Amino acid sequence: MQNIFFRKKIYGRTIISFLLTLFVCSLAIIFSIQNKMNIETLQMERLILESSYRLHEEISKKLYKTKALAALVIQGNGVVNNFQQIAAVITSDEPAIANVLLAPGGIVTDVYPREESKAVIGLDFFNDTYAGNKEAILARDTGELVMAGPFIVLQGFLGLVGRYPVYTEKNNFWGLVSVTLKFPDALENTGISMLEHHGFSYDLWRINPDTGEQQIIASGNRHSNANVSYVERLVTIHNANWYFRIFPLRSWYEHPETWFLIFAGLSISILISFLFQNNLELRKVKNDLLSANNILQSDAIANELELTKYKIAIMLSQIQPHFLYNALTAIAQLCDEDPVKAKKTIMDFSVYLRSNMESLNDKGLISIEKEISHVKGYLDLEKEIYKGALNVIYHIEAGGFMLPPLSIQPIAENAVRHGIGKKEGGGTITLTVRETDNDFLVTVADDGAGFNMDETQVFMHQDNQKHIGIQNVRRRIEGQCGGMLEISSKPEKGTIVVIKIPKTKS
């Protein structure tokens, strides 16, 4: 009955740890997504300003050909001789111009090129009901250049039209000159087609003055919808109001990195809850074994319990909550700063957790290569946590021998936490694997805070929980390999730990 109650208690705490971790990961993911959307909004605001300016400048440059025509009319006192030849020269540098025309009194009398555009001759801008005539009347009444369109012109293509009123020397209204631009050719050199290279699309629209309805003038490969954030700006080009809208090509949920973050958050939550559950169960086993040790009289059974107790203790010493939360915090920051590096760090974290859990089932020895791989994963995580304050150097000059699992990592952890972590400005850990004629040597050296060997015998001999990981490493190396562990340290100089494994035992 007591065991059932304990199991329910473990499951309850495990569920709570899973939900808390999932909540923290969810907050980190939401923050990351929101930050990405804010960056996109800033990019869109910059791009829409640049593109709006180029849009206005490019179209205005083409429509200003009307002012050259007006100057010819005024110079000739209302008569333009050799109009076809002059118009050909004026329009030669703008391939987007479809035609230019003269409309004294608002009625078209001449157009260039005449053969392709003769359908407009005789058109009355002020009385006929053709599209664009409202803008012609506005140009006459305001005395300003007015742009109309885009709409289907009489020649049968989609065009933009600029109407410009002409006044003679006595300030009498002579009529209109007009330039027709092919559309969307007129948008070339505005740069809006390059928006997709930046990860954005666009819609360019207006309210059609003839119908009062919204008209899409131009757009990218994707139209905006209610689920996509956008930035919109009014662009006024010669009394014509256009609306320019920019939006991301992909919504937040269409980015692969978003789903990667969600998967990573869920995986981390499951791993943390699994570790938490195992931690609780291991602590119960440890307590049960300690209780049984008080009543067992057999030396053999007592020794077995002692070995089991230390095996559990080394596992508990490796699963440190503060390290897990520091690692998660570093990963959350990297998700914003460097998603590619965040992915690698999550993989290192996964390898670290898996190696710790697998060590529970490792009854014998493992290869030095596997142990070094686990240590590298752990130290890579610590390097992210210490943000440049930790440097690691590897000198792997030998291999092919066996040692107990989790022999080097507790030593490396002590070097980080009690050596580099206590030294202002950080420091360097050097991991060396080499061989002599009779032994394989694994050395972990740091230039951290160090300690006084005479005053720190507790580190070597006493059953102190803080240093139980190193004690367990010594016991397993001596018992399973016939080797030995040596420690030397000096205050402010650092610590050197050497594992010596005889070749005859490896």
Grouping H, G, I as helix, E, B as strand and the rest as coil, residue 361 is coil
Question: How far apart (Å, rounded) are the C-alpha atoms in residues 44 and 411?
Answer: 51
Helix axes 2-63, 321-337, angle to 10 degrees: 10
Q: Which residue has the tokens 């000159």?
A: 177
pLDDT tens, 110-138? Answer: 999 988 888 889 999 888 778 888 899 99
Q: Which two tokens stand for residue 209?
A: 């003055």
Ranges 13-27, 304-318, 366-380: which has the least confidence: 304-318
pLDDT tens, 340-385? Answer: 777 777 777 777 777 666 665 555 788 999 999 889 988 988 888 8
* Cis amide linkage into residue 184, ω under 30° from 0: yes
Q: What is the mean predicted confidence (pLDDT) over 261-273?
A: 87
Q: Which domains does the chain have, with CATH numbers?
A: 34-60+190-253 (3.30.1140), 64-186 (3.30.450.20), 255-361 (no CATH), 388-506 (3.30.565.10)
Burial-class residue 504 by CB neighbours within 10 Å (0-12, 13-18, 19+): exposed
Burial-class residue 480 by CB neighbours within 10 Å (0-12, 13-18, 19+): middle
Question: How far apart (Å, rounded) are the C-alpha atoms in residues 311 and 472?
Answer: 7
The radius of gyration of the chain from alpha carbons, rounded to an integer in Å, stands at 40
Q: What is the mean predicted confidence (pLDDT) over 333-342?
A: 73
Of 113, 182, 187, nearest to 153 (Cα)?
182
Residue 477 DSSP one-character state: I
Grouping H, G, I as helix, E, B as strand and the rest as coil, residue 146 is strand
CA distances from 246 to 13, 63, 91, 249, 256 (A): 49, 25, 32, 9, 22
Q: What is the mean predicted confidence (pLDDT) over 480-498?
A: 92
Name the β-bridge partners of 80. none
Q: Which residue has the tokens 């180029």?
A: 54
Of 187, 236, 231, 185, nearest to 207 (Cα)?
236
pLDDT tens, 156-181? Answer: 899 999 999 999 877 789 999 999 99
Residue 395 phi/psi, 5-degree rounding, is: -125, 85
Residue 334 phi/psi, 5-degree rounding, is: -65, -30
- The reported pLDDT for the residue numbered 502 is 94
* Number of residues written out for the chain: 506
Of 32, 35, 37, 502, nearest to 260 (Cα)?
32
CB 326 within 8 A of CB 385: yes
Of 330, 350, 345, nearest to 275 (Cα)?
350
Buried b (16+ CB within 10 A) or exposed e, 220-231: bebebeeebebb
Burial-class residue 233 by CB neighbours within 10 Å (0-12, 13-18, 19+): middle
Tell me the residue type at 85: Q
CB neighbour list of residue 478: distance below 8 Å, 6 or more residues apart: 484, 485
Q: Does 460 score more than 60 pLDDT?
A: no
pLDDT tens, 190-232? Answer: 888 888 888 899 999 999 888 889 999 898 877 666 567 889 9
Name the β-bridge partners of 393. 430
What rounded mean pLDDT belongs to the chain? 83
Grouping H, G, I as helix, E, B as strand and the rest as coil, residue 155 is coil
Q: pTM of the entire structure?
A: 0.52
